[in-house]
């Protein structure tokens, strides 16, 4: 986040998805504002949120009126003016909710910032700092849709990687003792070479911009390559399938998709969808990207900024 006021990473409003969330309980301004993002080609913003709590915890007490709600705005002029995207109704967020907001055309610029904020208490016509407002929290913010839906191999929204730092998706520890194959759909750049989904195929280091599928059996201390995916082979979405190595057919295995090299935001984007682990007894389970089940995702500048803020 570019601006964080009245908030900190903690679990004072409980766990929204996993681990800590950005919690807002300060007496003054309570807001989280992103840096200017390139949203050209983006389709949606998604996050999990809570305002107060059902059990009325001291550090996360139940809201009582509309002015304790939280607003999501966007600005395309550096924060001079803001346009409302969504109002989080104070009555509906005492339990954790996932919001999926379709971005309007006016927000799809190369310098759009997003803001989650809670209005001040108004007393005698003046905005007054107050600790009495219901506390709130947000988690797992993502902006997606830049590389499309990977049709006809997949459907719905895909994991889209356009960040300026590390680009990877890592599973939670999995039990692969009965697993036989890993299957998924991958696209790197696009034939159309759009601003939101392109890859430099004529560079000498293009092979370094491949996406690797790896596994670890020691919680990420060391990673082993299952497959490499070269950009020239994946400018159109491809569905692939690999046998899971015998060494990986144990409990506590983590899988990751990782791009070692890229030129930063606006370049060398890729998308991942429809991941499936096939079990030996013809059973399978899906990793549902819409709900981010079992995944820790790092795929946009905003999400990465949020991760950095949590470690601060």
**152-186 residue pLDDT tens:** 555 556 788 988 889 999 999 999 999 999 999 99
Cα–Cα distance for residue pair 50/170, rounded to 1 Å: 25
Nearest to 186 by CA among 248, 231, 244, 245: 231
The CATH architecture to which 159-311 belongs is Sandwich (2.60)
State if pTM tops 0.75. Answer: no
Average pLDDT of span 191-197 = 85
pLDDT at 152: 58
Contact, 171 vs 254, CB < 8 A?
Answer: yes
Average pLDDT of span 254-263 = 94
Q: Express as a percent the part of the chain with pLDDT over 90.
A: 43
The CATH architecture to which 3-144 belongs is Sandwich (2.60)
Highest mean pLDDT among 67-71, 78-82, 198-202: 78-82
Boundaries of every domain in the chain = 3-144, 159-311
pLDDT at 165: 86
Checking if the pLDDT of 290 tops 90, the result is: no
Domains 3-144 and 159-311 share a fold: yes
Query: Higher-confidence residue: 21 or 157?
Result: 21
**221-237 residue pLDDT tens:** 999 999 999 999 999 88
């Amino acid at each position: 986040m570019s601006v964080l006021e009245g908030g900190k990473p903690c679990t004072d409003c409980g766990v929204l998805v996993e681990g800590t969330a950005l919690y807002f309980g300060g007496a003054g301004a309570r807001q989280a504002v992103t840096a200017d993002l390139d949203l050209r080609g983006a389709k949606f913003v998604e996050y999990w949120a809570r305002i107060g709590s059902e059990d009325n915890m001291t550090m996360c007490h139940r809201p009582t009126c509309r002015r304790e709600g939280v607003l999501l705005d966007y600005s395309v002029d550096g924060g001079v003016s803001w346009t409302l995207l969504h109002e989080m109704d104070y009555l509906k967020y005492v339990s954790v909710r996932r919001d999926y907001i379709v971005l309007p055309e006016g927000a799809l610029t190369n310098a759009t910032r997003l803001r989650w904020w809670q209005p001040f208490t108004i007393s005698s016509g003046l905005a007054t700092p107050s600790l009495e407002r219901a506390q709130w929290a947000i988690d797992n913010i993502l902006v997606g849709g830049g590389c499309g839906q990977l049709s006809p191999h997949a459907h719905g929204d895909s994991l889209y990687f356009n960040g300026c730092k590390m680009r990877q998706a890592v599973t939670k520890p999995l039990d692969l003792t009965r697993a036989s194959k890993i299957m998924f759909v991958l696209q790197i750049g696009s034939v159309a070479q759009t601003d939101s989904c392109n890859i430099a195929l004529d560079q000498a280091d293009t092979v370094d911009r491949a996406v690797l599928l790896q596994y670890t059996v020691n919680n990420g201390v060391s990673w082993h390559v299952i497959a490499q995916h070269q950009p020239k082979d994946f400018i159109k979405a491809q569905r692939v399938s690999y046998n899971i190595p015998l060494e990986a057919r144990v409990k506590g295995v983590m899988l990751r998709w990782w791009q070692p090299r890229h030129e930063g935001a606006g370049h060398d984007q890729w998308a991942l969808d429809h991941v499936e682990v096939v079990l030996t007894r013809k059973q399978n389970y899906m990793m549902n990207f819409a709900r981010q089940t079992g995944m820790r995702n790092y795929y946009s500048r905003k999400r990465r900024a949020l991760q950095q803020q949590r470690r601060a």
